[in-house]
Amino acid sequence: MFDHPDFDGHEGVHFFSDPTSGLQAIIAGHNTRFGPGGGGTRLWSYATPKDAITDALRLSRAMSYKNAMAGLKLGGGKGVIIRPEGDFDRTALFQAYGRAVQAVGGRYITAEDVGVSPDDMRIIKTQTDFVAGLDDGPAASGDPSPVTADGVFRSIKVAVRHATGRESIEGLRVAVQGLGHVGYGLCEHLHAAGAHLIVTDINKVVLDRAKTELGAIIVEPDVIHAVDADVFAPCALGGAVSEASLPEIKAKIIVGAANNQLASVEMGEACRQRGILYAPDYIVNAGGIINVAAEVSGSYDPNWVKSKLDALEITLKNIFMLAEERSEPTNLVADQMARERLKI
């Protein structure tokens, strides 16, 4: 573990197994300088256990950066559950996972991520209090996805303004990869603002809905990055910007909700060399954890959430300006700022 390429001084990496429910999970805590590790739990079918470990390490580090840059009283943590093969008892699985979260002793607070819903959070809640993203309770705020989508939409406007000088995104073509809760919410914002949508997903039902409700053009998943668009918005899993995909990307702006969009750190400089403005993902998608932080505080305040989203826009603008002044890639500028705040 200590020589894993994505191990970055993580404070703790916890492995959990429950043969009865089929649970195999990893909870990674990266840095708790500003508070307990806050970050969602992901349920995914990983090709190998090593891939799950890599995901947990990378995502927890990104959460440290995200929470520090958003000015939250949370550290960086992430949970991943290896999806059991075949049919499984979802209630039993998430009860076992709740016990795992409880065993970490408050150093990690979970919420939703890919493959996990507010219903799953309620099951986890039966086993531990270290959970957010609930839709009942005195400070409950429900699914944080709409707030994440709002933050991504705001970030697209900031990026468009910086790259083109345009104050409006009306008429722009935006290619959205992934129509989950966040991706579809983003599309609704974009449609309302007059953007033209090109979308993809593996779910035909949601694609039909996007075509009917939002007038979206549907393309296959393996070509979404290469369509003729002004903005590419990766909102599925990570690695959308890679050595293979980058030469085919026509958009000059990349702003999306997915975590770890760059397949490697070097892809940030590769984007810069191609004249592509990349908005660092953990800045762009911080809306969800901002919403969770408001819930964790014990007194949910929508005005506080809005103020943090406003600050997100300013942070992203400053990153763009600094990167331009220094002739450096935006991802490295953001990383440096985050590590300075974390003093690591």
Q: Which pLDDT does position 298 carry in this prediction?
A: 78
- Please tell me which residue in 66, 78, 125, 308 is annotated as part of the active site: 78
Q: Which pLDDT does position 143 carry in this prediction?
A: 80
For the beta sheet containing 23-31, the strands, ordered from the edge strand earlier in sequence to the opposite edge, are 12-18, 23-31, 75-82, 37-44, 108-112
Per residue in 71-86, pLDDT (tens digit) is 999 999 999 999 999 9
Per residue in 211-265, pLDDT (tens digit) is 999 999 999 999 999 999 999 999 998 899 999 999 999 999 999 999 999 999 9
Q: Is the pLDDT of residue 138 over 70?
A: no
Q: Which whole-number Å values give the CA distances from 114 to 37, 40, 259, in the listed order?
A: 18, 8, 10
Provide the CA 87 distance to its chain's centre, in angstroms: 27
Mean pLDDT of 25-47: 96
Q: Which pLDDT does position 136 carry in this prediction?
A: 72
Q: Which pLDDT does position 140 carry in this prediction?
A: 66
Which residue in 3, 260, 302 sits closest to 114, CA to CA? 260
Phi, psi dihedrals of residue 27, rounded to the nearest 5°? -115, 115
Per residue in 316-329, pLDDT (tens digit) is 999 999 999 999 99
Q: Which pLDDT does position 244 carry in this prediction?
A: 97
| Average pLDDT, rounded, for the chain | 95
Q: Examine the residue annotation and report whether 78 is marked as an active-site residue of this protein.
A: yes
Q: Is the pLDDT of residue 135 over 80?
A: no
